[in-house]
Structure 1
Amino acid sequence: MSQFDVTIIGSGPGGYVSAIRCAQLGFKTAIIEKYSTLGGTCLNVGCIPSKAMLASSHHYDELKHFADHGIEVSGDVKVNLQKMVDRKQAVVDQTCSGVKFLMDKNKITVFEGIGSFEDATHVKITKNDGSSEVIESKNIIIATGSKPSNLPFITLDKERIITSTEALKLPEVPKHLVIIGGGVIGIELGQVYLRLGAQVSVVEYMDRIIPGMDSSLSKELTKVLKKQGMKFYVSHKVQAVERKGNEVTVKAENTKGEVITLEGDYALVSVGRKPYTAGLNVDKAGVKISDRGMVEVNDHLQTNVSNIYAIGDVVRGAMLAHKAEEEGTMVAEYLAGQKPHIDYNLIPGVVYTWPEVAAVGKTEEQLKEEGVTYKTGSFPFKALGRARAGGDLDGFVKILADAKTDEVLGVHMIGARCADLIAEAVTAMEFRASAEDISRMSHAHPTFAEAVKEAALAATDNRALHV
């Protein structure tokens, strides 16, 4: 029987990063993955493929505006969706191969099959051919991630009524794509097909899209996407989704009791994700699962069984790949006797539409609810020289700071390159910077990052320079 110091079940960003860190720290490490490729949802059917499709569709969309830059494109510009999907898959394959390389480089043993507990220190690996083997491990990390949620009355046929997985490999550009759920995944995939020529309608139960983010970001993104042609039905509760042939009908009711009927050729169900623990047999190890299906952990991500830990989407908190990575590293270092920590308030969130949306820290709604006295400073991208030069004028940066101490409490931005710009805010807040600290940092000119400095100036005695 093979024996290991640490065994990780699941090879997503949390799992494989944890395996690498464990190996770096000298642990004999194994990782178990039920699929033939490593990387989990993020690399295979989530973050990476969706960003590849967003990038390709963005290039196509930009062609429509080349004339504004004095570039004339003659002839018809056509979308080859299959080639776009093939490129997406090539990016996925290369990325997953990179993870396999890292496993080999760090001498991590990879098992392909379904990992399930025999007891607290033994894991059974059931392979695709039906054979199995059992390994022994001093410590075990559950990193099995999540899967798309669904509404109980919706039947997913994965042909016309689909999840994000199927949306990444459609055989055609939809004529009318109806998206159920206005969260990050739905909005990103909606923009992909909107750019490619589809009519896109979004039905959202809450009163705004991306409801988990600051309301000012929701408002601005809604405005921009409406301008691009996307339609929204917020404060609508979906009642029924039915398919007849190649037509899908979605019925939803608003808060006034009025019912709308949307007819499309595809319906994307994007109502969040839920923890995935099927097949783990955690009861054999005595691990507790909450009523919501999450593995219960303490502040060290340790379950009620002392040698078993859990990370990523399968535990509490935001379902984000980078959050899972931090947790995977934290557990590895904790096992090595170190004292790592994670400030969950400083885990940034990003929406990879164009303009991009990014945020870290508290929203205005949260500060009001907590009774915190704060001040705010905003700066529009349209006032930036770099934004005007590139034609990316939509959006703004908003900084929230404590009214007494000036410490930055939250940064919220929508605009070009915000997915990258948010790292500056995370760094500043990690060191408990004040708005004035940021305002006195030199930012290269002309750059999009100057919007962060200007927003900090606006939050510091309302003295932005370029508005």
Structure 2
Amino acid sequence: MKYDIIVIGSGPGGYIAAVRASQLGKKVAIIEKYATLGGTCLNVGCIPSKALLDSSHHYYDAVHHFEEHGITVETPKIDFGKMVERKAKVVETTTGGIKYLMDKNNIDVFEGLGSFEDATHVKITKNDTTSEIIEGANIIIATGSKPSSLPFIKIDKERIITSTEALKLSEIPKDLLVIGGGVIGLELGSVYKRLGANVTVIEYMDKIVPGMDADVSKELQKVLKKQGIKFATSHKVNAVERNGDTITVKATDKKDREIEFSGDYCLVSVGRKAYTAGLGLEKVGVEVNERGQISVNDHLQTNIKNIYAIGDVVKGAMLAHKAEEEGVVVAEFLAGEKPHIDYNLIPGIVYTWPEVAAVGKTEDELKEAKIDYKSGKFSMRALGRSRASGDIDGFVKVLADKNTDEILGVHMVGARVADLIMEAAVAMEYRASAEDLARICHGHPTYSEAVKEAAKAAWDGKPLNA
């Protein structure tokens, strides 16, 4: 069969590219090697992790916060099986929604492993080893990523696990060791800490979420430590060993002392790597970089002119929403339109509680670029809405150009900042100044008032409620 566009991979980047291409009049096919659509994000990533985060948050509130709100309940009990079952239903509903979108947009779905025969023909090998070949004028690679590990760690998927296994454990760990203080490690560590596990995060760098603003990292670690999570930063892991149901992690600290950590589970969350296995890139000569990512130009076009790549399989932040935007960009480009994407305005979010969100430049990045800037910061504790809900941890920080007042970066820790960050992203898309944001009337009482106040602090140094 012949198609205008073939998409390999049905994650957020792939399925969105397929939908947008179909909307623009293209005949589209999508290939997915698993039985369900949606890729890592919907099946073993974003969606199931948020389902468990929400369930564990409800339990944590019932145990720790209901009484202060005047709600008396018997000691809450965890039905972990039911919690996991709910997570599975959320995933099933969400992936089913992708199937609906494919049908609605007349996109042909092929189940099997897609691999290149040549630049325009893709072979689809099914689980029963039968295969067929389809032809596409243009092909979009959207095969995503898989969890990384360290060379000396043997992931047994039982006690030494990745995020995939952590989302479907049959029991709550007693002592969970988390290698890596990034987004995935902190989110899943939070889930199991709320449910009663002892959690220790072992991080090579001197701070958690090392790519985010230093103030954000410091505040998040302080709050999570208050919740009971233990941290061992500046620790280099040298060995992970299993003896029965006991896992031992050996590491050296910054003074080169050997430290041992013991637990019944070890979550290895040291990042993710591009997944290109089985694609047959070598058959068509598609170039990859030293990190195994597919090399692309500004139009997400590979060195083979009719082959494109998007999402985790190319350079940049491994975020579902980044992949979606890239999918739209390629679909529109192939339809003759002139789309654009501003990578500086792709927000980063951590779904712990409090949440963390950021867009634009960090202070360190501005210093490195020798850009004169000013900073305004406002504490969530000063908000009436935060005091009403009891979510008083965190802050909003606005960084603006010292000369022009243009907003250059916004960093938040607090309740619902995962949603709140988009106010900053919209402002920065239109190159708003801190004064612009400060002069917008914000509803009261809302968490968003912290954005207004931080913007005013950056603009004239005089927030109204601090």
Q: TM-score over 0.5 for the alignment?
A: yes
Does the alignment pair 1:413 with 2:409? no
Between the aligned partners of 1:450 and 1:34, the Cα distance in structure 2 is 46
- Equivalent residue for 2:66? 66
Once residues 432 and 267 of structure 1 are traced to their aligned partners in structure 2, the CA distance between those partners, rounded to angstroms, is 44
> How far did 1:290 drift?
1.2
Listed as ranges, the gaps of 5+ residues in structure 2 are none
Q: Does 1:218 align with 2:217?
A: yes
Partner of 2:460: helix, strand, or coil?
coil
Q: How does 1:366-405 map to 2 (within 5 A)?
A: 366-405=365-404
- Specify the SS of the correspondent of 1:219: helix
Between the aligned partners of 2:75 and 2:303, the Cα distance in structure 1 is 62
* C-alpha displacement of 1:177: 0.1
Match of 1:428 in 2: 427
Residue equivalent to 1:445: 444
Aligned to 1:54: 53
Aligned partners of 1:355 and 1:36: how far apart in 2?
A: 35
What is the distance in 2 between the residues matched to 1:146 and 1:200? 26
Instruction: State the 1:129 CA deviation.
Output: 0.8
Cα distance in 1 for residues equivalent to 2:130 and 2:215 = 54
CA distance in 2, matches of 1:322, 1:436: 29
State the shift of 1:170 in Å: 0.8
Equivalents in 2 of 1:169, 1:128: separation in Å? 24
SS of match in other structure, 2:184: helix
Q: Which residue of 1 aligns with 2:106?
A: 107
The answer to whether structure 1 residue 45 and structure 2 residue 77 are counterparts is no
Q: What is residue 146 of structure 1 aligned with on the other side?
A: 145
Q: Which residues in structure 2 correspond to 1:88-237 (within 5 Å)? A: 88-237=87-236
The letter of the residue matching 2:400 is A
Identity over aligned pairs, percent = 69
Distance in 2 (alpha carbons) for counterparts of 1:405 and 1:101: 48
1:19 aligns with 2:15: no
Deviation at 1:76, TM superposition (A): 2.3
Residue type of the alignment partner of 2:376: G
Using the TM superposition, give the Cα deviation of residue 423 of structure 1 relative to its aligned residue in structure 2, in angstroms.
0.4
C-alpha deviations, 1:61-113, integer Å up to 9, x for none? Answer: 1112111011111x221111111000000000000000000000000000000
CA distance in 2, matches of 1:144, 1:234: 33
Q: Scaled by the length of structure 2, what TM-score is found?
A: 0.99
Q: CA deviation at 1:339?
A: 0.5
Deviation at 1:138, TM superposition (A): 0.1
Secondary structure class of the residue paired with 1:125: strand
2: CA distance, partners of 1:78 / 1:169: 19
Quick one: distance in 2 between partners of 1:451 and 1:322? 25
Instruction: Note the aligned Cα RMSD (angstroms).
Output: 0.5
- Provide the C-alpha distance between the structure 1 equivalents of 2:390 and 2:207, rounded to a whole number of angstroms: 27
User: What SS does the corresponding residue of 1:294 show, helix, strand or coil?
Assistant: coil
Matched residue type, 1:125: I
| 1:289 positional shift | 1.2
SS at match of 2:295: coil
What is aligned with 1:295? 294
Q: CA deviation at 1:218?
A: 0.4
2:246 is the alignment partner of 1:244: no
Deviation at 1:286, TM superposition (A): 1.6
Other-structure match for 2:35:
36
Equivalents in 2 of 1:425, 1:310: separation in Å?
A: 29
4+ residue segments displaced more than 6 Å: none
Instruction: Note if 1:284 corresponds to 2:283.
Output: yes
Q: Distance in 1 between matches of 2:211 and 2:124?
A: 38
Letter in 2 for 1:420: D
Q: Give how far 1:379 is off.
A: 0.4
Task: Provide the aligned length of Structure 1 versus Structure 2.
Answer: 465
Cα distance in 2 for partners of 1:236, 1:261 equals 11
One-letter identity of the residue aligned with 1:78: K
1:7-36 deviation per Cα after TM superposition (whole angstroms, max 9, x unaligned): 000000000000000000000000000000
